[in-house]
A and B are shown apart, each in its own frame.
Chain A
Amino acid sequence: MSLSTDRAPQAFTFKGGMLPMTVMELVSGDPEQIRAQLASKLSQSPAFFQHTPVVLSVEKLDEPHLALERICAVCRGHKLLPVAVRGGGDPVRQSAWALGLGWFPPQENRGRSLESVPPVAAEPVAEPAETVADSAAEKAEPAHASKVYRGTVRSGQQVSAPEGDLVIIGAVNAGAEILAAGSVHIYGALRGRALAGIHGDRNASIYCKELHAELLSVAGTYKRLDDIDNRLLGANVEVVLEHDQLCIARLG
Protein backbone atom coordinates (compact mmCIF):
# COMPACT_ATOMS: atom_id res chain seq x y z
CA MET A 1 0.00 0.00 0.00
CA SER A 2 1.40 3.32 -1.03
CA LEU A 3 1.02 6.48 1.00
CA SER A 4 2.36 8.89 -1.57
CA THR A 5 0.25 10.07 -4.43
CA ASP A 6 2.65 12.14 -6.48
CA ARG A 7 4.38 10.73 -9.52
CA ALA A 8 7.97 11.15 -8.36
CA PRO A 9 9.88 7.87 -8.11
CA GLN A 10 9.42 6.41 -4.67
CA ALA A 11 12.31 5.92 -2.33
CA PHE A 12 10.26 3.65 -0.09
CA THR A 13 6.82 2.41 0.76
CA PHE A 14 5.39 1.93 4.21
CA LYS A 15 4.17 -1.52 4.89
CA GLY A 16 2.75 -3.03 7.98
CA GLY A 17 3.96 -6.38 9.15
CA MET A 18 3.39 -8.92 11.86
CA LEU A 19 6.88 -10.09 12.50
CA PRO A 20 7.59 -12.82 15.00
CA MET A 21 9.62 -11.24 17.76
CA THR A 22 11.28 -12.64 20.81
CA VAL A 23 10.20 -10.91 24.01
CA MET A 24 12.73 -10.96 26.80
CA GLU A 25 10.64 -10.74 29.94
CA LEU A 26 12.86 -9.29 32.64
CA VAL A 27 12.29 -10.49 36.17
CA SER A 28 15.43 -8.82 37.43
CA GLY A 29 16.96 -5.49 36.49
CA ASP A 30 20.42 -6.55 37.58
CA PRO A 31 22.71 -6.56 34.49
CA GLU A 32 25.11 -9.03 36.12
CA GLN A 33 22.36 -11.53 36.79
CA ILE A 34 21.14 -11.17 33.21
CA ARG A 35 24.65 -11.60 31.93
CA ALA A 36 25.11 -14.85 33.87
CA GLN A 37 21.85 -16.32 32.60
CA LEU A 38 22.56 -15.30 29.01
CA ALA A 39 25.98 -16.89 29.16
CA SER A 40 24.49 -20.22 30.20
CA LYS A 41 21.74 -20.00 27.56
CA LEU A 42 24.33 -19.18 24.94
CA SER A 43 26.22 -22.37 25.63
CA GLN A 44 23.00 -24.41 25.43
CA SER A 45 21.69 -23.07 22.17
CA PRO A 46 24.25 -20.96 20.32
CA ALA A 47 22.10 -20.96 17.17
CA PHE A 48 19.56 -18.76 18.88
CA PHE A 49 22.04 -15.96 19.51
CA GLN A 50 22.67 -14.63 16.03
CA HIS A 51 21.92 -10.97 16.33
CA THR A 52 18.36 -11.93 17.15
CA PRO A 53 16.16 -8.88 17.65
CA VAL A 54 14.43 -8.83 21.04
CA VAL A 55 11.90 -6.65 22.81
CA LEU A 56 12.80 -6.06 26.43
CA SER A 57 9.67 -6.35 28.51
CA VAL A 58 9.92 -4.66 31.89
CA GLU A 59 6.28 -5.11 32.84
CA LYS A 60 7.14 -7.43 35.66
CA LEU A 61 9.75 -5.09 37.04
CA ASP A 62 8.96 -2.52 39.65
CA GLU A 63 12.00 -0.35 39.16
CA PRO A 64 11.38 3.19 37.96
CA HIS A 65 15.06 3.76 37.19
CA LEU A 66 16.32 0.86 35.18
CA ALA A 67 19.97 0.45 34.15
CA LEU A 68 18.66 0.13 30.61
CA GLU A 69 21.89 1.11 28.91
CA ARG A 70 23.87 -1.57 30.74
CA ILE A 71 21.21 -4.22 30.11
CA CYS A 72 21.29 -3.43 26.39
CA ALA A 73 25.07 -3.65 26.38
CA VAL A 74 24.89 -7.08 28.03
CA CYS A 75 22.38 -8.24 25.42
CA ARG A 76 24.49 -6.99 22.54
CA GLY A 77 27.52 -8.67 24.07
CA HIS A 78 25.61 -11.94 23.68
CA LYS A 79 24.46 -11.25 20.13
CA LEU A 80 20.94 -10.21 21.02
CA LEU A 81 19.78 -6.90 19.54
CA PRO A 82 17.31 -5.00 21.72
CA VAL A 83 15.02 -3.11 19.37
CA ALA A 84 12.38 -1.86 21.75
CA VAL A 85 11.20 -1.78 25.33
CA ARG A 86 7.72 -2.71 26.48
CA GLY A 87 6.15 -1.38 29.65
CA GLY A 88 7.65 0.67 32.47
CA GLY A 89 6.98 4.24 33.45
CA ASP A 90 7.91 7.53 31.86
CA PRO A 91 11.60 7.41 32.91
CA VAL A 92 11.96 4.02 31.19
CA ARG A 93 10.29 5.38 28.07
CA GLN A 94 12.55 8.43 28.01
CA SER A 95 15.71 6.36 28.41
CA ALA A 96 14.54 3.89 25.76
CA TRP A 97 14.12 6.77 23.30
CA ALA A 98 17.45 8.20 24.34
CA LEU A 99 19.07 4.87 23.49
CA GLY A 100 17.41 4.84 20.08
CA LEU A 101 14.96 2.07 21.04
CA GLY A 102 11.26 2.00 20.42
CA TRP A 103 8.77 1.91 23.27
CA PHE A 104 5.55 -0.09 23.52
CA PRO A 105 2.89 0.46 26.15
CA PRO A 106 2.38 -2.37 28.59
CA GLN A 107 0.30 -5.22 27.23
CA GLU A 108 -3.08 -5.41 28.87
CA ASN A 109 -5.59 -8.22 29.28
CA ARG A 110 -3.14 -10.86 28.38
CA GLY A 111 -5.02 -14.11 28.21
CA ARG A 112 -2.05 -16.34 28.58
CA SER A 113 0.67 -15.66 31.04
CA LEU A 114 4.16 -16.89 30.45
CA GLU A 115 3.93 -19.14 33.47
CA SER A 116 1.74 -21.50 31.53
CA VAL A 117 4.77 -22.55 29.57
CA PRO A 118 7.10 -25.10 31.19
CA PRO A 119 9.69 -23.20 33.21
CA VAL A 120 12.67 -25.11 31.86
CA ALA A 121 11.86 -24.67 28.18
CA ALA A 122 14.78 -25.69 26.01
CA GLU A 123 14.50 -22.50 24.05
CA PRO A 124 13.66 -19.00 25.15
CA VAL A 125 9.96 -18.50 24.97
CA ALA A 126 8.84 -15.94 22.48
CA GLU A 127 5.60 -14.56 21.21
CA PRO A 128 4.59 -12.33 18.34
CA ALA A 129 5.09 -8.66 18.98
CA GLU A 130 2.48 -6.06 18.26
CA THR A 131 1.96 -4.69 14.80
CA VAL A 132 5.02 -2.74 13.92
CA ALA A 133 3.51 -0.29 11.45
CA ASP A 134 0.15 1.25 10.69
CA SER A 135 -3.01 -0.77 10.92
CA ALA A 136 -3.78 -0.62 7.22
CA ALA A 137 -1.07 -3.17 6.82
CA GLU A 138 -0.69 -5.75 4.18
CA LYS A 139 -0.02 -9.24 5.39
CA ALA A 140 3.67 -9.67 6.05
CA GLU A 141 5.52 -11.94 3.69
CA PRO A 142 6.72 -15.14 5.30
CA ALA A 143 10.46 -15.57 5.55
CA HIS A 144 11.75 -17.79 2.76
CA ALA A 145 15.04 -18.66 4.36
CA SER A 146 14.50 -22.41 4.30
CA LYS A 147 17.47 -24.67 4.41
CA VAL A 148 17.96 -28.14 2.98
CA TYR A 149 20.59 -30.44 4.43
CA ARG A 150 21.48 -33.69 2.69
CA GLY A 151 23.12 -36.48 4.64
CA THR A 152 23.20 -37.84 8.13
CA VAL A 153 23.36 -35.29 10.95
CA ARG A 154 25.73 -37.03 13.33
CA SER A 155 26.27 -37.07 17.06
CA GLY A 156 27.72 -33.74 18.20
CA GLN A 157 26.65 -31.87 15.07
CA GLN A 158 24.15 -29.05 15.01
CA VAL A 159 22.24 -27.88 11.94
CA SER A 160 20.08 -24.80 12.18
CA ALA A 161 17.84 -22.65 10.03
CA PRO A 162 17.61 -19.49 12.15
CA GLU A 163 15.12 -17.82 9.83
CA GLY A 164 13.02 -20.45 8.10
CA ASP A 165 12.19 -24.12 7.75
CA LEU A 166 14.76 -26.87 7.92
CA VAL A 167 14.61 -29.92 5.68
CA ILE A 168 16.89 -32.85 6.46
CA ILE A 169 17.21 -35.49 3.76
CA GLY A 170 18.76 -38.19 5.88
CA ALA A 171 18.77 -39.26 9.48
CA VAL A 172 19.39 -37.21 12.62
CA ASN A 173 21.40 -39.42 14.94
CA ALA A 174 21.41 -39.56 18.74
CA GLY A 175 23.42 -36.68 20.15
CA ALA A 176 22.75 -34.44 17.13
CA GLU A 177 20.59 -31.31 17.27
CA ILE A 178 18.58 -29.56 14.58
CA LEU A 179 16.90 -26.18 15.07
CA ALA A 180 14.66 -24.01 12.95
CA ALA A 181 12.73 -20.79 13.30
CA GLY A 182 10.01 -22.50 11.29
CA SER A 183 9.18 -26.16 10.87
CA VAL A 184 11.51 -29.12 10.76
CA HIS A 185 11.10 -31.87 8.15
CA ILE A 186 13.17 -35.01 8.43
CA TYR A 187 13.10 -37.54 5.60
CA GLY A 188 14.73 -40.21 7.69
CA ALA A 189 14.99 -41.38 11.27
CA LEU A 190 15.01 -38.79 14.04
CA ARG A 191 17.10 -40.09 16.93
CA GLY A 192 18.50 -36.77 18.16
CA ARG A 193 16.94 -33.48 19.25
CA ALA A 194 14.65 -31.47 17.00
CA LEU A 195 13.55 -27.94 17.89
CA ALA A 196 11.06 -26.07 15.73
CA GLY A 197 9.84 -22.50 16.18
CA ILE A 198 12.92 -21.46 18.15
CA HIS A 199 11.92 -17.81 17.97
CA GLY A 200 8.45 -18.58 19.22
CA ASP A 201 6.48 -19.53 16.12
CA ARG A 202 3.70 -21.60 17.67
CA ASN A 203 2.52 -22.78 14.25
CA ALA A 204 5.81 -24.49 13.54
CA SER A 205 5.81 -28.28 13.52
CA ILE A 206 8.10 -31.26 13.23
CA TYR A 207 7.74 -34.06 10.68
CA CYS A 208 9.80 -37.21 10.60
CA LYS A 209 9.76 -40.61 8.93
CA GLU A 210 10.83 -42.54 11.99
CA LEU A 211 10.45 -41.20 15.50
CA HIS A 212 13.07 -42.04 18.12
CA ALA A 213 13.74 -38.43 19.17
CA GLU A 214 15.69 -37.59 22.31
CA LEU A 215 13.79 -34.33 22.44
CA LEU A 216 11.02 -32.64 20.48
CA SER A 217 10.31 -28.96 20.98
CA VAL A 218 7.95 -26.50 19.33
CA ALA A 219 8.19 -22.86 20.43
CA GLY A 220 9.75 -23.88 23.71
CA THR A 221 7.24 -26.56 24.67
CA TYR A 222 8.96 -29.87 24.66
CA LYS A 223 8.74 -33.62 25.13
CA ARG A 224 11.57 -35.93 26.03
CA LEU A 225 11.93 -39.47 24.73
CA ASP A 226 10.62 -40.64 28.09
CA ASP A 227 7.42 -38.61 27.63
CA ILE A 228 6.66 -40.06 24.21
CA ASP A 229 4.12 -42.86 23.97
CA ASN A 230 6.01 -46.08 23.22
CA ARG A 231 3.54 -47.03 20.53
CA LEU A 232 4.59 -43.98 18.51
CA LEU A 233 8.25 -44.92 18.47
CA GLY A 234 9.46 -45.77 15.00
CA ALA A 235 6.35 -44.26 13.42
CA ASN A 236 6.04 -41.69 10.67
CA VAL A 237 4.70 -38.68 12.58
CA GLU A 238 3.81 -35.02 12.72
CA VAL A 239 4.36 -33.01 15.89
CA VAL A 240 2.31 -29.86 16.46
CA LEU A 241 1.57 -27.51 19.33
CA GLU A 242 -2.04 -27.58 20.48
CA HIS A 243 -3.27 -25.88 23.65
CA ASP A 244 0.29 -25.53 24.94
CA GLN A 245 0.82 -29.26 24.55
CA LEU A 246 2.84 -31.13 21.98
CA CYS A 247 0.65 -33.50 20.02
CA ILE A 248 2.24 -36.33 18.11
CA ALA A 249 0.11 -37.82 15.36
CA ARG A 250 0.80 -40.63 12.95
CA LEU A 251 1.03 -39.77 9.29
CA GLY A 252 -0.16 -42.00 6.52
Chain B
Amino acid sequence: MAKIIVVTSGKGGVGKTTSAAAIATGLALRGNKTVVIDFDVGLRNLDLIMGCERRVVYDLVNVIQGEANLKQALIRDKRIDNLHILPASQTRDKDALTLEGVEKVLDALREEFDYVICDSPAGIERGAQLAMYFADEAVVVTNPEVSSVRDSDRIIGLLSSKTRRAENGDTPVREHLLITRYHPARVTGGDMLNLTDIQEILSIPLIGLIPESDAVLRASNQGVPVTHDQKSDAGQAYVDCVSRLLGEEVQLRFHEVEKRGLLARMFGGGRK
Protein backbone atom coordinates (compact mmCIF):
# COMPACT_ATOMS: atom_id res chain seq x y z
CA MET B 1 0.00 0.00 0.00
CA ALA B 2 1.40 3.32 -1.05
CA LYS B 3 1.82 6.33 1.13
CA ILE B 4 0.01 9.38 -0.18
CA ILE B 5 1.98 12.59 0.36
CA VAL B 6 0.54 15.98 -0.53
CA VAL B 7 2.87 18.87 -1.29
CA THR B 8 1.00 22.03 -0.36
CA SER B 9 1.50 25.63 0.85
CA GLY B 10 -1.51 27.90 0.52
CA LYS B 11 0.52 30.60 -1.12
CA GLY B 12 1.51 30.36 -4.76
CA GLY B 13 5.00 30.57 -6.18
CA VAL B 14 6.79 29.19 -3.12
CA GLY B 15 8.06 26.06 -4.86
CA LYS B 16 5.36 23.40 -4.51
CA THR B 17 5.73 21.95 -7.98
CA THR B 18 9.53 22.14 -7.90
CA SER B 19 9.49 20.36 -4.53
CA ALA B 20 6.93 17.74 -5.60
CA ALA B 21 9.04 16.93 -8.67
CA ALA B 22 12.29 16.90 -6.71
CA ILE B 23 10.92 14.74 -3.88
CA ALA B 24 9.26 12.29 -6.27
CA THR B 25 12.51 12.02 -8.21
CA GLY B 26 14.49 11.51 -5.00
CA LEU B 27 12.14 8.77 -3.79
CA ALA B 28 12.33 7.01 -7.15
CA LEU B 29 16.14 7.27 -7.21
CA ARG B 30 16.12 5.48 -3.86
CA GLY B 31 14.30 2.60 -5.51
CA ASN B 32 10.71 3.40 -4.57
CA LYS B 33 8.01 3.02 -7.17
CA THR B 34 6.66 6.55 -7.25
CA VAL B 35 3.96 8.50 -9.06
CA VAL B 36 3.54 12.26 -8.93
CA ILE B 37 0.12 13.77 -9.72
CA ASP B 38 -0.54 17.33 -10.84
CA PHE B 39 -3.72 18.58 -9.13
CA ASP B 40 -3.40 22.05 -10.59
CA VAL B 41 -6.10 21.57 -13.21
CA GLY B 42 -6.17 24.54 -15.56
CA LEU B 43 -2.64 25.70 -14.73
CA ARG B 44 -0.63 22.57 -15.25
CA ASN B 45 3.11 22.92 -14.73
CA LEU B 46 4.38 19.65 -13.37
CA ASP B 47 4.84 18.17 -16.84
CA LEU B 48 7.16 21.07 -17.72
CA ILE B 49 9.23 20.68 -14.56
CA MET B 50 9.44 16.93 -15.14
CA GLY B 51 10.29 17.50 -18.81
CA CYS B 52 7.50 15.35 -20.19
CA GLU B 53 5.21 18.02 -21.66
CA ARG B 54 5.58 16.65 -25.18
CA ARG B 55 4.32 13.24 -24.19
CA VAL B 56 1.02 14.21 -22.58
CA VAL B 57 -1.98 12.57 -24.22
CA TYR B 58 -4.48 11.94 -21.46
CA ASP B 59 -4.65 13.56 -18.04
CA LEU B 60 -6.16 13.28 -14.56
CA VAL B 61 -9.51 14.74 -15.64
CA ASN B 62 -9.80 12.27 -18.52
CA VAL B 63 -9.27 9.41 -16.08
CA ILE B 64 -11.77 10.78 -13.57
CA GLN B 65 -14.38 11.27 -16.26
CA GLY B 66 -13.79 7.80 -17.69
CA GLU B 67 -12.43 8.97 -21.02
CA ALA B 68 -9.15 7.14 -20.51
CA ASN B 69 -7.79 4.54 -18.15
CA LEU B 70 -4.93 5.11 -15.74
CA LYS B 71 -2.43 3.15 -17.83
CA GLN B 72 -3.03 5.43 -20.79
CA ALA B 73 -2.65 8.59 -18.75
CA LEU B 74 0.45 7.69 -16.73
CA ILE B 75 3.68 8.91 -18.31
CA ARG B 76 6.86 7.03 -17.52
CA ASP B 77 9.79 9.27 -16.66
CA LYS B 78 12.47 9.05 -19.31
CA ARG B 79 15.34 9.05 -16.76
CA ILE B 80 14.06 6.78 -14.00
CA ASP B 81 12.02 3.67 -14.77
CA ASN B 82 10.08 3.52 -11.51
CA LEU B 83 8.84 7.12 -11.67
CA HIS B 84 5.54 8.05 -13.28
CA ILE B 85 3.72 11.32 -13.86
CA LEU B 86 -0.03 11.87 -13.99
CA PRO B 87 -0.49 15.29 -15.58
CA ALA B 88 -3.31 17.74 -15.04
CA SER B 89 -5.59 19.05 -17.76
CA GLN B 90 -4.83 22.51 -19.06
CA THR B 91 -8.21 23.06 -20.71
CA ARG B 92 -10.55 22.25 -17.83
CA ASP B 93 -11.01 23.86 -14.46
CA LYS B 94 -10.92 22.48 -10.95
CA ASP B 95 -14.65 21.75 -10.92
CA ALA B 96 -13.88 18.84 -13.21
CA LEU B 97 -12.41 17.03 -10.19
CA THR B 98 -14.76 15.12 -7.91
CA LEU B 99 -14.05 13.62 -4.50
CA GLU B 100 -15.21 10.18 -5.67
CA GLY B 101 -13.16 10.44 -8.85
CA VAL B 102 -10.01 11.43 -6.99
CA GLU B 103 -10.56 8.62 -4.49
CA LYS B 104 -10.92 6.07 -7.28
CA VAL B 105 -7.71 7.21 -8.97
CA LEU B 106 -5.75 7.28 -5.70
CA ASP B 107 -7.06 3.85 -4.66
CA ALA B 108 -5.90 2.40 -7.97
CA LEU B 109 -2.48 4.06 -7.66
CA ARG B 110 -2.08 2.90 -4.06
CA GLU B 111 -2.15 -0.71 -5.25
CA GLU B 112 0.70 -0.27 -7.67
CA PHE B 113 3.06 2.27 -6.16
CA ASP B 114 5.09 2.81 -2.99
CA TYR B 115 4.61 6.58 -2.95
CA VAL B 116 1.91 8.80 -4.44
CA ILE B 117 2.94 12.47 -4.43
CA CYS B 118 0.11 14.99 -4.92
CA ASP B 119 1.19 18.40 -6.19
CA SER B 120 -1.45 20.74 -4.79
CA PRO B 121 -2.58 23.96 -6.48
CA ALA B 122 -2.16 27.20 -4.55
CA GLY B 123 -5.04 28.54 -2.47
CA ILE B 124 -7.33 26.88 0.03
CA GLU B 125 -10.25 26.19 -2.28
CA ARG B 126 -11.61 23.02 -3.79
CA GLY B 127 -8.52 22.09 -5.80
CA ALA B 128 -6.20 22.34 -2.83
CA GLN B 129 -8.67 20.57 -0.53
CA LEU B 130 -9.09 17.67 -2.96
CA ALA B 131 -5.31 17.32 -3.26
CA MET B 132 -4.93 17.01 0.51
CA TYR B 133 -8.11 15.11 1.36
CA PHE B 134 -6.75 11.55 1.08
CA ALA B 135 -3.20 12.32 2.21
CA ASP B 136 -1.30 10.27 4.80
CA GLU B 137 1.48 12.82 5.05
CA ALA B 138 1.87 16.44 4.03
CA VAL B 139 4.88 18.47 3.04
CA VAL B 140 4.11 22.12 3.76
CA VAL B 141 6.29 24.33 1.58
CA THR B 142 7.12 27.71 3.11
CA ASN B 143 9.35 30.64 2.13
CA PRO B 144 11.11 32.65 4.83
CA GLU B 145 8.58 35.43 4.49
CA VAL B 146 5.62 36.48 6.68
CA SER B 147 2.80 36.04 4.17
CA SER B 148 4.01 32.60 3.19
CA VAL B 149 4.27 31.56 6.83
CA ARG B 150 0.76 32.76 7.56
CA ASP B 151 -0.67 30.92 4.56
CA SER B 152 1.15 27.76 5.59
CA ASP B 153 -0.33 28.14 9.06
CA ARG B 154 -3.78 28.26 7.48
CA ILE B 155 -3.06 25.13 5.42
CA ILE B 156 -1.83 23.23 8.49
CA GLY B 157 -5.15 24.12 10.13
CA LEU B 158 -7.02 22.67 7.15
CA LEU B 159 -4.90 19.51 7.22
CA SER B 160 -6.15 18.86 10.73
CA SER B 161 -9.79 19.44 9.85
CA LYS B 162 -10.51 19.00 6.14
CA THR B 163 -8.89 15.66 5.41
CA ARG B 164 -10.30 12.15 5.48
CA ARG B 165 -8.04 11.24 8.38
CA ALA B 166 -9.33 14.22 10.36
CA GLU B 167 -12.97 13.55 9.49
CA ASN B 168 -12.75 9.85 10.37
CA GLY B 169 -10.79 10.53 13.54
CA ASP B 170 -7.86 8.36 12.33
CA THR B 171 -4.25 9.17 13.18
CA PRO B 172 -3.78 12.70 11.90
CA VAL B 173 -1.98 13.55 8.68
CA ARG B 174 1.77 13.64 9.41
CA GLU B 175 2.92 17.16 8.71
CA HIS B 176 6.41 18.14 7.60
CA LEU B 177 7.79 21.62 7.13
CA LEU B 178 9.89 22.25 4.02
CA ILE B 179 11.49 25.67 3.86
CA THR B 180 12.50 26.72 0.37
CA ARG B 181 14.33 29.72 -1.10
CA TYR B 182 16.25 30.15 2.14
CA HIS B 183 19.02 32.72 1.83
CA PRO B 184 21.24 32.58 4.94
CA ALA B 185 22.97 35.90 4.19
CA ARG B 186 19.67 37.74 3.85
CA VAL B 187 18.34 36.04 6.97
CA THR B 188 21.37 37.24 8.91
CA GLY B 189 20.81 40.71 7.49
CA GLY B 190 17.24 40.66 8.77
CA ASP B 191 15.56 40.76 5.32
CA MET B 192 14.06 37.31 5.80
CA LEU B 193 12.53 35.36 8.66
CA ASN B 194 14.97 32.97 10.24
CA LEU B 195 14.59 29.26 10.60
CA THR B 196 13.86 29.36 14.34
CA ASP B 197 11.08 31.94 13.95
CA ILE B 198 9.38 29.95 11.22
CA GLN B 199 9.60 26.73 13.20
CA GLU B 200 8.28 28.44 16.30
CA ILE B 201 5.24 29.84 14.52
CA LEU B 202 4.35 26.75 12.51
CA SER B 203 5.48 24.24 15.16
CA ILE B 204 5.65 21.19 12.93
CA PRO B 205 8.82 19.12 12.39
CA LEU B 206 11.28 20.32 9.75
CA ILE B 207 11.84 17.87 6.90
CA GLY B 208 14.21 19.99 4.87
CA LEU B 209 15.65 23.35 4.03
CA ILE B 210 16.37 24.25 0.44
CA PRO B 211 18.67 27.20 -0.13
CA GLU B 212 17.88 29.83 -2.75
CA SER B 213 19.80 28.55 -5.75
CA ASP B 214 20.35 29.22 -9.43
CA ALA B 215 20.21 25.48 -9.91
CA VAL B 216 16.44 25.47 -9.23
CA LEU B 217 15.68 27.96 -12.00
CA ARG B 218 17.99 26.16 -14.36
CA ALA B 219 16.38 22.82 -13.53
CA SER B 220 12.85 24.16 -14.08
CA ASN B 221 13.68 25.59 -17.46
CA GLN B 222 15.44 22.46 -18.60
CA GLY B 223 12.70 20.19 -17.34
CA VAL B 224 15.09 18.16 -15.21
CA PRO B 225 14.13 17.94 -11.51
CA VAL B 226 16.87 19.57 -9.45
CA THR B 227 17.48 16.33 -7.53
CA HIS B 228 19.41 15.10 -10.57
CA ASP B 229 21.86 18.00 -10.20
CA GLN B 230 23.93 16.51 -7.41
CA LYS B 231 26.59 19.17 -7.74
CA SER B 232 24.14 21.86 -6.64
CA ASP B 233 23.30 22.78 -3.06
CA ALA B 234 19.56 22.64 -3.78
CA GLY B 235 19.89 19.17 -5.32
CA GLN B 236 21.74 17.91 -2.26
CA ALA B 237 19.25 19.54 0.07
CA TYR B 238 16.36 17.70 -1.65
CA VAL B 239 18.25 14.41 -1.31
CA ASP B 240 18.57 15.11 2.43
CA CYS B 241 14.87 15.90 2.57
CA VAL B 242 13.99 12.59 0.89
CA SER B 243 16.25 10.69 3.32
CA ARG B 244 14.38 12.27 6.23
CA LEU B 245 11.04 11.37 4.64
CA LEU B 246 12.30 7.78 4.58
CA GLY B 247 12.97 8.05 8.30
CA GLU B 248 16.74 8.62 8.30
CA GLU B 249 18.48 11.17 10.45
CA VAL B 250 20.41 13.69 8.41
CA GLN B 251 22.27 16.73 9.69
CA LEU B 252 20.77 20.03 8.54
CA ARG B 253 22.87 21.86 5.93
CA PHE B 254 22.80 25.16 4.05
CA HIS B 255 21.11 27.11 6.86
CA GLU B 256 24.15 29.15 7.80
CA VAL B 257 26.16 31.68 5.86
CA GLU B 258 28.89 29.74 4.11
CA LYS B 259 32.39 30.53 5.15
CA ARG B 260 34.07 31.01 1.86
CA GLY B 261 37.61 29.83 1.37
CA LEU B 262 40.50 32.11 0.50
CA LEU B 263 40.54 31.11 -3.17
CA ALA B 264 36.80 31.61 -3.55
CA ARG B 265 37.06 35.06 -2.03
CA MET B 266 39.99 36.02 -4.25
CA PHE B 267 38.44 34.82 -7.47
CA GLY B 268 34.83 35.63 -6.63
CA GLY B 269 33.69 32.06 -7.07
CA GLY B 270 30.66 31.08 -5.07
CA ARG B 271 28.06 28.44 -4.83
CA LYS B 272 26.46 27.66 -8.12
> Interface residues, chain A, CB within 8 Å of chain B?
152, 154-157, 170-171, 173-175, 189, 191
Contact = CB atoms under 8 A, between A and B. Distances in A.
B157 A157 contact: yes
Interface string B237-265: 00000000000000000000000000000
Given A155-B157, A170-B203, A175-B153, 10 more contacts: A152-B202, A152-B203, A154-B153, A154-B154, A154-B156, A155-B153, A156-B154, A171-B201, A175-B150, A191-B201
Interface of B: 124, 150-151, 153-154, 156-158, 200-203
A150 to B, nearest CB: 12
A189 B200 CA distance: 10
Most buried by B among A156, A171, A189: A156
A155 B153 CA distance: 6
**Chain B contact residues: helix, strand, loop or mixed:** helix
A73 to B, nearest CB: 34
Nearest to B153: A155
B203 A155 contact: no
A174 B157 contact: no
Nearest to A154: B157
A156 B158 CA distance: 9
Contacts of A171: 200-201, 203
Contacts of B156: 152, 154
6 A-B pairs closest in CB distance: A154-B157, A155-B153, A155-B154, A156-B154, A154-B153, A157-B157
A58 B142 CA distance: 53
Most buried by A among B154, B200, B202: B154
Contacts of A174: 150, 153
A171 B149 CA distance: 15
A149 to B, nearest CB: 12
Contacts of A152: 153, 156, 202-203
Contacts of A191: 201
A157 B158 CA distance: 9
Most buried by A among B124, B150, B158, B202: B150
Most buried by A among B124, B150, B151, B153: B153
Contacts of B201: 171, 173, 191
A153 to B, nearest CB: 8
A175 B203 contact: no
Contacts of A170: 203
24 contacts: A152-B153, A152-B156, A152-B202, A152-B203, A154-B154, A154-B156, A154-B157, A155-B153, A155-B154, A155-B157, A156-B153, A156-B154, A156-B157, A157-B157, A170-B203, A171-B200, A171-B201, A173-B150, A173-B201, A174-B150, A175-B150, A175-B154, A189-B200, A191-B201
Contacts of A156: 124, 153-154, 157-158
